[in-house]
Homo-oligomer: A and B are copies of this chain.
Amino acid sequence: MTLYLIGLGLGTEQDITLRGLEAVKKADKIYLENYTSLLQCSVADLENYYGKKIIISDREKSEHAQEIVTAAKNDSIAFLVIGDPFSATTHIELYKLAQEQKIPVEVINNASVLTAIGITGLQLYKFGRTTSIPFLQDHPNLETPYHVYRNNLSLDLHTLFLLDLDPKNNHFMSVKEAISTLENIESRLHQNLITPQTKAIGVARVGSKDCLIKFGTMSDIKQIDFGPPPHCLIIPGKLHFAEEEMLTTYY
């Protein structure tokens, strides 16, 4: 039949597109990836809205996509992804597997944090490479996000840091924890790129109605309680006049 890869966007059950909802209603089985991000509503909210049961596909199942593709041979399968379907590399695997096995796939796109951060006023085409900050306890020698930031900065570009999450243990990295991690790397590499005066933008729940954005120095931003996850962090590169003007509304 058909495998539908459907983005849910960033907010609640109402952020699905009409095309997405139609596919969910047609589907015989509905899977939801439950690893790479976080919605502002519960799985029960989604189930009530669709009037259907949802099967949670955790990281391991997403990576062993064969089960889902096999199911799509005879049934219509909806695979729901928070944000946009290709926000994580695991989902392109699913797409590829279906293509190889001649299963029709329809991709239904939606909002992603990568573009929703445009609400900060920073121009999207002035972002360099996006990077992630994993939990330091898992990567005590972590350096990558620091190097990505340095390279972007050298080209005057902004850097978006996506923050790690561990839903099983209900641990979602906060803006404060992200800054501490960058400071930890700074204390090892001593390149003076992360200082208390470095300007940064803390962002929480972007794409949802109660999105919170704060602009300030690292030492200011660290003091702010951004509330429920998910959070992300931006360190701007060279600011255009209009970008600066917009950012000051978030002081």
| A residues in contact (CB < 8 Å) with B | 7, 9-12, 14-19, 21-22, 84-87, 89, 92-93, 95-96, 99-100, 106-112, 114-116, 118-119, 121, 123-132, 151, 155, 157, 207, 209, 242, 245-246, 249
Q: Is the CB of A249 within 8 A of B109?
A: no
Q: Could you say how many copies of this chain the assembly holds? A: 2
Task: Other than A15-B108, A96-B246, A111-B111, give 8 A-B pairs with Cβ distance below 8 A.
Answer: A10-B109, A16-B18, A87-B115, A96-B121, A107-B119, A110-B111, A125-B129, A125-B131
Q: Is the CB of B128 within 8 A of A129?
A: yes
CA distance A10 to B7 in the complex (A): 13
Provide the residues of chain B in CB contact with A93, threshold 8 Å.
242
Provide the residues of chain B in CB contact with A128, threshold 8 Å.
128-129
* A and B contact pairs by CB, cutoff 8 A, 6 listed: A11-B19, A15-B18, A85-B118, A87-B118, A109-B116, A125-B132
Looking at the assembled complex, report how far the CB atom of A35 sits from the nearest CB atom of chain B, in whole angstroms. 16
CA distance A124 to B110 in the complex (A): 15
CA distance A18 to B242 in the complex (A): 32
Q: Is the CB of A96 within 8 A of B245?
A: yes
Looking at the assembled complex, report how far the CB atom of A190 sits from the nearest CB atom of chain B, in whole angstroms. 23
CA distance A86 to B116 in the complex (A): 7
Provide the residues of chain B in CB contact with A125, threshold 8 Å.
129-132
9 closest pairs, A vs B, by CB? A86-B118, A109-B111, A112-B115, A14-B19, A125-B130, A84-B115, A14-B18, A109-B116, A109-B207
CA distance A12 to B17 in the complex (A): 11
Of B84, B118, B246, the contact of A116 (CB 8 Å cutoff): B84
Q: Which residue on B lies nearest to A7, using beta carbons?
A: B111
Provide the residues of chain B in CB contact with A110, threshold 8 Å.
9, 17, 110-111
Q: Which residue on B lies nearest to A21, using beta carbons?
A: B18
Q: Is the CB of A14 within 8 A of B9?
A: no
Provide the residues of chain B in CB contact with A96, threshold 8 Å.
121, 245-246, 249
Of B92, B106, B115, the contact of A114 (CB 8 Å cutoff): B115
Provide the residues of chain B in CB contact with A107, threshold 8 Å.
119
